[in-house]
Amino acid sequence: MPELPEVETVVRDLRPLLVGRTIERVVCGKRKLRTPWKPAWSKAVAGMIVDAIRRRGKWIVVDLTPRPPSLKGKGEQSPSLLGEGLGRGGSSLLLHLGMTGQLTVVSAKSEKQDHTHLVFSLDNGHELRFRDVRRFGSAEWFASSDALEAKLNNTLGPEPFDLMAEEWHTRVSRSARCLKAILLDQTVVAGVGNIYADESCYLARLHPQRRGDSLSKEDCERLRIAIVDVLTRAIEGRGSTIKDYIGGSGLMGTYQGEFRVYGRTGEACLNCSRTIAMMRLAGRSSHFCSACQR
């Protein structure tokens, strides 16, 4: 799956290709994603202009406006949208890539790959395409930013980069769960997934099975810094491509070459040469060095 660095890369890649463009029409495939796309959403989105594209946790938000904000300030008030409970903030698309989702902008003439479920035609002969082999991803349209922000804030904790040392320590040290489970919990910190949870624990020299309430304040701080560090470097490397992930313009990531523990079961620890071990935690394969990580 795409985790925070991969999603961030997609968003950065897509931004110059999408912002300011008009979405002329939307075509949805037959097979449904995690959240079935409603035909009414295609109508609502058609004619909209992409105002912004941003990331929140592992989610991608595409903000839409009915018309250019400064062009022709007067004129009719897009009547079709008034009945939708449209808040003042405008509407948005909310996308999640799940395990195998890909979001790319390509020429409308380029061949359509299998498992392409949503196509947004742009006003410049290109298309925004959402492809997802396993269909664990989702795509929704929100009529108001109120509804969207409510959903995001109810399901997501702070961004790792905004994480305050205090609140992080409090949250972790109050939990009896193991670190791996805490790191994967999107309501604690948003955007960390299986790869970067393992890599962060390794960098902080903490065993992923350690209980949160067994950590000292220094342990917690080391872990917080490690998360920020790993994610920052991964973003610099445009994320990790293991198999399905590609950036918004089709480029692969490079951070998979930097893995210290993830996927290195049986190989030598880069620090002490002991064998990297693997166990199942929180339902996910977890990689670690039992000598370096306590």
- Asked if 144 interacts with DNA (CB under 7 A), we say no
Among 122, 227, 234, 282, binds DNA (CB under 7 A): 282
- Asked if 18 interacts with DNA (CB under 7 A), we say no
**C-alpha–C-alpha distance, residues 269 and 271, integer Å:** 5
- Asked if 242 interacts with DNA (CB under 7 A), we say yes
Task: Report the residue number, 233 or 284, with the smaller CB distance to DNA.
Answer: 284
Question: Can you give the length of the chain in residues?
Answer: 294
Task: Report the residue number, 145 or 214, with the smaller CB distance to DNA.
Answer: 214
Query: Which regions of the chain does DSSP assign to beta strands (E)?
Result: 23-28, 49-56, 59-65, 91-96, 101-107, 116-122, 126-132, 138-142, 277-281, 284-288
Under a CB-based contact definition with an 8 Å cutoff, are residues 245 and 254 in contact? no
**C-alpha–C-alpha distance, residues 230 and 210, integer Å:** 20
Residue 121's Cα: distance from chain center in Å? 23
**What residues numbered 169-228 form the site for DNA, per CB under 7 A?**
174-178, 181, 184, 186, 193-195, 211-212
Task: Report the residue number, 105 or 281, with the smaller CB distance to DNA.
Answer: 281
Question: Pairing mode, if any, of strands 116-122 and 101-107?
Answer: unpaired
- Asked if 155 interacts with DNA (CB under 7 A), we say yes
Among 120, 130, 245, 259, binds DNA (CB under 7 A): 245
**C-alpha–C-alpha distance, residues 10 and 59, integer Å:** 11
From the CB of 28, what's the least distance to DNA, in Å? 16
Separation of first and last alpha carbons in the chain: 27
Q: Count residues contacting DNA (CB under 7 A)?
A: 44
What DSSP designation does 178 have? B
User: Residue 263's closest CA among 195, 209, 184, 206?
Assistant: 195
- Asked if 284 interacts with DNA (CB under 7 A), we say yes
Residue span binding DNA (CB under 7 A) among the ranges 2-10, 116-124, 225-233, 266-274:
2-10
10 Å CB burial of residue 40 (0-12, 13-18, 19+) is exposed
- Asked if 233 interacts with DNA (CB under 7 A), we say no
From the CB of 252, what's the least distance to DNA, in Å? 9
Among 57, 90, 160, 247, binds DNA (CB under 7 A): 57
Residue span binding DNA (CB under 7 A) among the ranges 27-35, 45-53, 75-83, 140-148:
27-35
Under a CB-based contact definition with an 8 Å cutoff, are residues 58 and 96 in contact? yes
Which residues participate in catalysis according to the annotation? 2-3, 58, 284
From the CB of 2, what's the least distance to DNA, in Å? 5
User: Residue 97's closest CA among 129, 63, 64, 135?
Assistant: 135
**Residue 249: partners with Cβ closer than 8 Å, 6 or more residues away:** 13, 14, 17, 104, 105
Site string for DNA, 88-127 (x = CB under 7 A): --------x-xx--------------xx------------
Residues that bind DNA (CB under 7 A): 1-3, 6, 31-32, 34, 57-58, 96, 98-99, 114-115, 133-136, 155, 174-178, 181, 184, 186, 193-195, 211-212, 240-245, 280-285
